[in-house]
Amino acid sequence: MVDLFSQQRHTELCQEINRHNRLYYSQDQPEISDAEYDSLFRELLGIEAEYPELITPESPSQRVGTPASKKFAPVEHIIPMLSLKNAKNAEEFHDFDTSIRKNFLARNADLEYVCEMKLDGVAIELTYEDGKLFRASTRGDGFVGEDITENIKTIDDIPHTLTAPYPELIDVRGEIYINLADFQALNRAQEDAGDKTFANPRNAAAGSLRQIDAKVTAQRPLRIFCYGVGRMQGLETASQFETLQLLARLGLRVNLRETTCSSGAEEVINIFCQFQDRRDTLPFEIDGVVVKVNEITLQEELGMVSRSPRWAIALKFPPRQEQTIVEGISLQVGRTGAITPVAHLKPVTVSGVTVSRASLHNWDEIERLDLRIGDHVVVERAGDVIPDVVKVLTEKRTGNERLIPLPTECPECSTPVHKNPDEVVPRCSNPHCPAQTIERMKHFVSRDAMDIEGLGEKQLVQLINCSKITDVADLYLLSKEDMCAMERMGDALAEKLILAIAASKNQPLSKLLFGLGVRHVGRNTAKILARRFASLDELAKCTTDQLIAIHEIGDKVARSIVDYFANPGKILLLEKLHQAGVQPQEEAVVQQGGPLTGKTFVITGSLSKWSRKEAEELVEKAGGRAAGSVSKKTDYVLAGENAGSKLAKAEKLGVEVVDEETFAQLIEFKPNGLG
């Protein structure tokens, strides 16, 4: 029986992982390190192992990556593009090896592994029909990817025609990547052109592949290594190694020289160590070793579990670390006034990327590290974006290091700062602080909020500096002439921006709510609120008690919402937005004061009229809450056919059990009505 805590944590993890998937796969802007992501994923798998009933097709454990974007036509992967399970250390690899030997080697065959470098790039599929490149696609969610054929055709490494004899049909799988030296040159060129630089070679490769204009892709130094096949008709191979040889013979680029076969687990660990030692000498970034069972028949016998094959595993390298010196500290002011210390580092190259800044998060962290200006430190970049200061080398201190004091005033507007005893960051309390204003506006226009494309920090700063905007509502009053006054802004671009701003007026309510930046109201809370309230006005009238009555809303969030709508400045802003024509789309599906208000339902067994999901939606629409497990707090259990342990528990706890007919009466269900 799932306990409430595990269930809630599972939902949180699914949402969190899906968000990071979006950031990583679709937006090429990851926020957390691979290691942090892996740890969230492991936690999810742990909960699902204990409570398999929590596994739904939507769980990230059942999907790879993120759904394909609408920018490119969808391409179905007839054989899904799977992901790999990770082994964090030798012990976990031994477990993998033992389970294969124990469970599947009954037929006493020789077990051989192929060890390949794990390239840190972007997975793609190339479909060749009759030897001709027919289509290329990204992995997407593993089942449906994006059609990037035109972009792929610009990559020199990829042949448009295979060398005969070739199979009638073959889906080639491989990794698109950028060499480290090319990456540095690309970033220099981006900088010179005033364009955004990429955080790492993987992001640069992903961003380059997903260009609308193939001419841009053509200018990017993309390379490929092919490592596998999906469908193959007209030819067969008996092993992974033979497959690699076949791919090479067909004219595809394969990292064959770096591929080794071995039979024992110890041997594999040795190869892993050798690859790790060679990592720094390679022209491209690798983040581990992929170990695959060589024999295809055995691969087929082993099969897959959820989204990964049982016949392969990735042995990841630990994050790379380098030493450098903290030369200074700057203070960043966020949209809520939070002041974050950022370390300025003596530039150091960590896995091909020059690192010169690292967030220190807060003063508790500074204290924990015992960090001072002038300190020698160890920085870590786990193959990804934001580096971390992980350790201070106190033995290298000279005595000239300086402490990092808590600021007394805002670095941007000099307003005295305050620090709540229950918070780790000090805050600037001036709502007109220019740093906060710009951050608030950036947040408002961001993709998850009002999603106004083409309006970034540069444009916002210019508009603020020439007094065209003072708050987000002013955006809706901008004219084409106002836009044209900006640098590098032609007529066409200005028109596009005006249209993008106008289009955002009717974004769903949850996006506006999130964009307003109410403290503690993140994406999920905004969605929950938008399902409950038809408009901002309705939400504004709500009391703390009414908000707390919503299951997912706690005390802190409720107070923050009520404070926001009581703030005269915010009331004015909302009025201004309304006047400017901002009319968010209603999302409310929950009947306020509906027949099930305040009631918790658990649905179990198979229903004849509805799917479980539909029944849960009906509960919510009627104002109730659908929960996954039965407890003393459950008001009703709706039991369908073959209801099992949940029904038993309900009976034991004396919870009222209803059938579908009674349920329909309770929710006042009218076919084509409420439902």
Residues 6 or more apart whose Cβ sits within 8 Å of residue 266: none
227 is a site residue for ligand IVH (CB under 6 A): yes
Residues 37 to 66: which contact ligand IVH by CB under 6 A? Answer: none
118 is a site residue for ligand IVH (CB under 6 A): yes
Comparing CB distances to ligand IVH, the nearer of 183 and 227 is: 227
Contact criterion met (CB below 8 Å) for 387 and 351: no
210 is a site residue for ligand IVH (CB under 6 A): no
DSSP state of 142: S
Q: Which of these, 238, 237, 242, 293, lies nearest to 111 by C-alpha position?
A: 293
232 is a site residue for ligand IVH (CB under 6 A): no
Residues 298 to 337: which contact ligand IVH by CB under 6 A? Answer: 309, 312, 314
Residues 367 to 406: which contact ligand IVH by CB under 6 A? Answer: none
Task: Please state, in angstroms and rounded to a whole number, the distance separating the CA atoms of residues 154 and 602.
Answer: 54
CA atoms within 13 A on the CB side of 619: 25
Of these, 14, 17, 123, 561, which contacts ligand IVH (CB under 6 A)? 123
Contact criterion met (CB below 8 Å) for 157 and 179: no
Question: What string of DSSP letters covers 305-347?
Answer: ETTEETTEEEEEPPPEEEEEEEEEEEEEE-TT-BEEEEEEEEE
Q: How many residues sit in the footprint of ligand IVH (CB under 6 A)?
A: 14
Tokens of 146: 């994006």
Comparing CB distances to ligand IVH, the nearer of 80 and 374 is: 80
Residues 345 to 364: which contact ligand IVH by CB under 6 A? Answer: none
Amino acid identity for residue 435 in this structure: A
Please state the closest distance from residue 259 (CB atom) to ligand IVH, in A. Answer: 8
Burial class (CB in 10 A: 0-12, 13-18, 19+), 545: exposed
Please state the closest distance from residue 125 (CB atom) to ligand IVH, in A. Answer: 10
Comparing CB distances to ligand IVH, the nearer of 385 and 410 is: 385
Tokens of 378: 């160890």
Please state the closest distance from residue 314 (CB atom) to ligand IVH, in A. Answer: 6
Please state the closest distance from residue 113 (CB atom) to ligand IVH, in A. Answer: 13
Q: Write each residue from 140 to 179 as x if it is in contact with ligand IVH (CB under 6 A), else as -, in one continuous string.
A: -----------------------------------x----
Please state the closest distance from residue 251 (CB atom) to ligand IVH, in A. Answer: 19
Of these, 33, 66, 83, 324, which contacts ligand IVH (CB under 6 A)? 83
Comparing CB distances to ligand IVH, the nearer of 79 and 502 is: 79
Task: Please state, in angstroms and rounded to a whole number, the distance separating the CA atoms of residues 170 and 323.
Answer: 47
290 is a site residue for ligand IVH (CB under 6 A): yes
Find the part of the chain contacting ligand IVH (CB under 6 A) among 82-90, 346-354, 372-380, 566-574: 82-90
Comparing CB distances to ligand IVH, the nearer of 302 and 602 is: 302
17 is a site residue for ligand IVH (CB under 6 A): no
Report how far apart the first and last C-alpha atoms of the chain are (Å, whole number): 30
Q: Is 581 left (phi over 0), alpha (psi -120 to 50) or beta?
A: left
Task: Please state, in angstroms and rounded to a whole number, the distance separating the CA atoms of residues 132 and 480.
Answer: 48
Find the part of the chain contacting ligand IVH (CB under 6 A) among 116-124, 380-388, 403-411, 495-503: 116-124
Burial class (CB in 10 A: 0-12, 13-18, 19+), 606: exposed
Residue nearest to ligand IVH (CB): 123
Of these, 13, 68, 84, 455, which contacts ligand IVH (CB under 6 A)? 84
Residue listed under structure tokens 């020439």: 466
Comparing CB distances to ligand IVH, the nearer of 125 and 380 is: 125
68 is a site residue for ligand IVH (CB under 6 A): no
Q: What share of the chain is helix, strand, coil (3-state, %, to 5)?
A: 40, 20, 40
Task: Please state, in angstroms and rounded to a whole number, the distance separating the CA atoms of residues 484 and 494.
Answer: 6
Amino acid identity for residue 185 in this structure: A
**Residues recognised as catalytic:** 118
Interaction site with ligand IVH (CB under 6 A):
82-84, 116, 118-119, 123, 175, 227-228, 290, 309, 312, 314
